[in-house]
Structure 1
Amino acid sequence: MTAEEPAALSLSLRPPEHRVSRKAIGHWTVSAAIGWLVVIGVQAVVVATSDDPPSWLSVTLVLCCVLGPLHLLVMPQWRYRVHRWEVTAEAVYTQAGWLKQEWRIAPISRIQTVDIERGPLEQLFGLARITVTTASAAGPLRISGLDHDRAVALADELTRTTQAVRGDAT
């Protein structure tokens, strides 16, 4: 057992302190709206251009027209209330999801890489996501919906912190 292991064993899963950027609500809304528009659009074109469209397609079109707006109203707000993150000298804490929620904790000594990613919509909203790859079989930790400048500062902080911790992150 190394000097870092007792500290890692004392870490407990708890709600992280920081919320993601409020701009994430808009990003999640637009992202989901694009998906709903594609689904509804394809169904509407088939129903409108078919001589005898299947009745189930008309039913699913109506359902999508009702469920889509409800999803767009509820999901982004719910995700914003759930998504949280925190970085301490000992660990990275994340909480994400909306229907299926995930809480994760990774000791700083286990971090192998820190990446910043920005898709086109994230760039439009000034957001970024950080991926913290660890030596865990559970996979990397992701913090989505961060303000781009905050994500850059956080990546720098994590890089400095992990360089100061002894060990090989395995």
Structure 2
Amino acid sequence: MTQAQSGPPRNRFDRPAVGWWRARLAALFTAAIAILVLHAVVPGLFKFGGYWLFVPAAAVTVLAVPAVLLLPRWWFEVHRWEVTDLAVYVRTGYFWQQSRMAPLSRIQSVDTVRGPLRKRFGLATVTVTTASAKGSLKIEGLGEERAAAVAEQITRATRARTATG
């Protein structure tokens, strides 16, 4: 843990996060394409439909391929996190980057979440709940062991900060 944060947060998410992000995007695009194709194939089943829906399905497919292949790699380069003696820092964002900082004195709880898809990639998310209207900070895409260690580190730092402050 460093004394204070200077510049953007330094730590990257774990490399399997790229696969996890790709899988989530692929599932989202697949669902959208499936709905369009279903409406096209079974036009009488819905109020609207018809073969013309193959055109937007093809367009979504054309957009999906580069998005699934390129965006997660780019996110891996952009997203960062760091824990210092003073705060937890997270920088996220797909097109617009957002940097958030939670002072240790404002942290209320630290949780680790592992959903089925994250678990498949060996990942977990550390959620830092604060006394902020902005909501929780999430450090997504950490290996399960690393996430547990980070959650413990934040908890110990918060406890130490509370005891001395």
- TM-score interval, normalised by the smaller of the two chains: 0.7 to 0.9
1:95-131 per-residue CA deviation (whole Å, 9 max, x = no partner) reads 0111132101111111110010111100000000011
What is the deviation of 1:48? Answer: 2.8
Taking the aligned partners of 1:13 and 1:156, their CA distance within structure 2 comes to 23
Taking the aligned partners of 1:68 and 1:58, their CA distance within structure 2 comes to 15
Choose the corresponding residue for 2:112, options 116, 119, 123: 116
What is the 5 A alignment of 1:1-170? Answer: 14-50=7-43, 53=50, 55=52, 57-166=53-162
2:32 counterpart letter in structure 1: V
Report the secondary structure of 1:165's partner residue.
helix
Q: What TM-score, normalized by structure 2, do the two folds share?
A: 0.87
1:53 counterpart letter in structure 2: G
What is the deviation of 1:50? Answer: 3.5
1:41-76 per-residue CA deviation (whole Å, 9 max, x = no partner) reads 221232233387163x23211211101112101210
Residues 17 and 123, structure 2, Cα contact 8 Å, conserved in 1: yes
Taking the aligned partners of 1:119 and 1:53, their CA distance within structure 2 comes to 37
1:40 counterpart letter in structure 2: I
Q: What TM-score, normalized by structure 1, do the two folds share?
A: 0.85
Taking the aligned partners of 2:59 and 2:107, their CA distance within structure 1 comes to 45
5+ long unaligned stretches in structure 1: 1-10
Taking the aligned partners of 2:111 and 2:16, their CA distance within structure 1 comes to 20
C-alpha RMSD of matched pairs (Å): 2.0
Report the secondary structure of 2:162's partner residue.
coil
Give me the identity figure in percent. Answer: 41
Residues 83 and 97, structure 1, Cα contact 8 Å, conserved in 2: yes
